[in-house]
A and B are shown apart, each in its own frame.
Chain A
Amino acid sequence: MNTKELTKGIWAENPIFVIMLGCCPALAVSTSLANAFGMGIAATFVLLGSNLIISLIRASVPDKIRIPVYIVVIATFVTMIDKFMAAFTPALSASLGIFIPLIVVNCIILGRAEAFANKNTPQDSILDAIGMGLGFTIALAMIAVFREVLGDGKFFGIPVPLIKDDPCLLMIMAPGGFFVFGLLMAWKKHLAAGGAK
């Protein structure tokens, strides 16, 4: 078992802060912690499935058409999950369902298929998917903590005293997302560079 494949996505190759893939859903749903975890969990499952399938069929896919094949595989997989969730777990679908169409356009899924799953074994691909999914979820949650607490005056939906009466609305709007995203990325770079210049 190659633990490096699992841990790299969480910090060293974090999909949001380092590879900078999937920023669109990250900014769109990081307005609350509940949304962040919902999106993170949904994306992790899809990533797991797509990485597994693609690493299984990678040997037989002609190189020239691998991208269209991946897209067909991912789109089919996501649509099936979406439909089955809506049909059999309507409560889960009501809370996570809105993220599923966003996952189809999430670059992380195709990015990992192209960059990792088509070159590695199914076991490693699963580890990569879990790591990347966790990294994505953590990054989203980090952005969401700031945006929900400062912008909505709530923490996981629980009102925070002092802030709840006059939250800073900008944080919950798109510019606030960019500000937090940028500052967190700068902070990560600062740490990665050893904390000092």
Chain B
Amino acid sequence: MSEKLLVTVGPHHHAPDTVARIMWEVTLALVPAFLISLYVFGGRAFVVTLCGVLGAVAGEALVQAVFQKKPVTLADGSAVLTGVLMAFSVPAALPWWTAFLGGFAGIILGKQCFGGLGQNIFNPAHIARAILLASWPVYMTTWLKPGAAAGLIGPLPDGVTAATPLGLMKETLRNPDLLNSLAASGTTALQHTFHELQIGWGSLLTGTIGGSLGETGKLALLLGGLFLLIRRHITWHTPATMLGTVFLGSLLITRDPQMALFHLLSGGLFLGAFFMATDMVTTPMTKVGHLIFGFGCGAITLLIRFKGGYPEGVCYSILIMNAFVPLIDKFTVPRRFGEVRAPAQEVKA
């Protein structure tokens, strides 16, 4: 192949939307949630995010320089975005080197192994999170208490960790003795969870709860999502079906509107629905495809939350649905004008 032939990622027609522009605008949309996380978890959130980004950028630069022998193009912002999204879906209490390795592994194994930007099947940020969860399960399930003074790096002092609302809910529902005593005193599992963590509906919205670094500030994430919608970087189809499936599904399962609302506003659902399940590379191409994808993500999230071993299932649901994208595309991409089905062609010939 000629060295001079420059193959770039589509779209090729001239438009103001370049890959770099989209990536930086998505990163911009994450800023409100990042500010919330700085307020809730303090400087540690900044360190984890910085290290995640540095790891991702280092991975990208390494592969581009050593293996592809391409000029290192970090300016398109895709590695930075992967690093930020990875950091957003891990606990703020994570040691800095773990965050760095997460970003690094996400880029190398989740993206460059498949051939780089536009070629990967799975969301690199969630690949990174899955690798970290399997590798350092203790760090990945140690959640910082909102407002706790944990220092920037180094081991955590005592008493700065807390359960996530979803985690505590799962523990509660699994403990028959506790459930019996709650039933005797007329308290619901939800009230118990709120009381134990000293939170309310307001904290679920603003983000002053335990959880992954960037997933807690629901209002801020909604703001970022709306920005992406207005800028037409995403469409409403995937987020709406994913959120709707989780809400209606939990309503159907628990028959309790409060529980349904709790499941809608807990965990990484907003982050996943607006920023992960809408990633252009790893999701279907058509609107119908988006609807199927969103429904699948929501359904698997419900399955993991209600039946699985983990309290939260957004990450794995999106990874699993990523694998179905080629299949969804196969059945939903419309035929081009004038294109004839293969068997019909045979008949004519």
Query: Which B residue's beta carbon lies closest to that of A172?
Result: B135
Nearest chain A CB to B215 CB, angstrom units:
22
Q: Mark A35-49, 1 if CB is under 8 A from B, else 0.
A: 000000000000000
- Contact indicator B136/A175 (Cβ below 8 Å): no
C-alpha gap A171/B137 in the complex (Å): 13
B136 x A168 contact (CB < 8 A): yes
Mask, A165-179, CB within 8 Å of B = 1, is 010111101010001
Q: Is B6 an interface residue (CB 8 A)?
A: no
Q: Is the pair A169, B134 in contact by a Cβ cutoff of 8 Å?
A: yes
Task: Tell me whether A169 and B109 are in contact (CB under 8 A).
Answer: no
Task: Specify which chain B residues have a CB less than 8 angstroms from the CB of A170 in the assembled complex.
Answer: 131, 134-135
| A173 and B137 alpha carbons, distance in the complex (Å) | 13
A170 to B131, CA, bound (A): 7
In the complex, how many angstroms separate the beta carbon of B270 from the nearest chain A beta carbon? Answer: 28
Are the C-beta atoms of A168 and B135 separated by less than 8 Å?
A: yes
Give chain B residues whose Cβ lies under 8 Å from the Cβ of A173. Answer: 134
Q: How many A-B residue pairs have CB under 8 A?
A: 20
A182 neighbours in B (Cβ, 8 Å): 113
User: CA–CA, A171 to B69, complex, Å?
Assistant: 28
For residue B94, give the distance in angstroms from its CB to the closest CB of chain A: 12
Q: How would residues 104 to 124 of chain B score, 1 for a CB under 8 Å from any chain A CB and 0 otherwise? A: 000001000100000000000
Residue among B113, B134, B137 facing the most chain A CB atoms (10 A cut-off):
B134
| B1 to chain A: closest residue by CB | A197
CA distance A166 to B135 in the complex (A): 9
Q: Give min CB distance, A163 to chain B, whole Å.
A: 11
Q: Kindly state the separation between the CA atoms of A61 and B136 in the bound complex, as whole angstroms.
A: 55
Chain B residue, CB-CB nearest to A175: B134
A26–chain B nearest beta-carbon distance, Å: 20
Cα distance, A173 to B135, chains bound together (Å): 9
Are A179's CB and B135's CB within 8 A? no
Selected contact of B109 from candidates A166, A168, A179, CB within 8 Å: A179
Bound form: Cα–Cα A182–B112 in Å: 14
Give Cα A36 to B98, complex, Å: 28
Instruction: State in angstroms the CA–CA spacing of A171 and B101 once bound together.
Output: 13
> CB-nearest residue of chain A relative to B131?
A170
- Complex: chain B residue closest to A197, CB-CB: B69
Interface positions of A from 114 to 172, Cβ below 8 Å from B: 166, 168-171
Q: How far is the CA of A169 from the CA of B113 in the complex (A)?
A: 21
A167 to chain B minimum Cβ distance, whole angstroms, is 8
Bitwise, A12-24 to B at CB < 8 A (1) or not (0) is 0000000000000
CB distance from B113 to the nearest CB of A (A): 8
**Separation in Å of the A28 CB from the closest CB of chain B?**
18
- Distance of A173 Cα from B136 Cα, bound (Å): 12
Chain A neighbourhood of B136, CB < 8 A: 166, 168-169
Complex A-B: 10 CB contacts under 8 Å: A168-B136, A169-B136, A169-B137, A170-B131, A170-B134, A170-B135, A171-B135, A173-B134, A179-B109, A182-B113
Question: A166-B95, A168-B135, A196-B69 are known contacts; what are 17 more A-B pairs with Cβ within 8 Å?
Answer: A166-B98, A166-B136, A166-B139, A168-B101, A168-B136, A169-B134, A169-B135, A169-B136, A169-B137, A170-B131, A170-B134, A170-B135, A171-B135, A173-B134, A175-B134, A179-B109, A182-B113
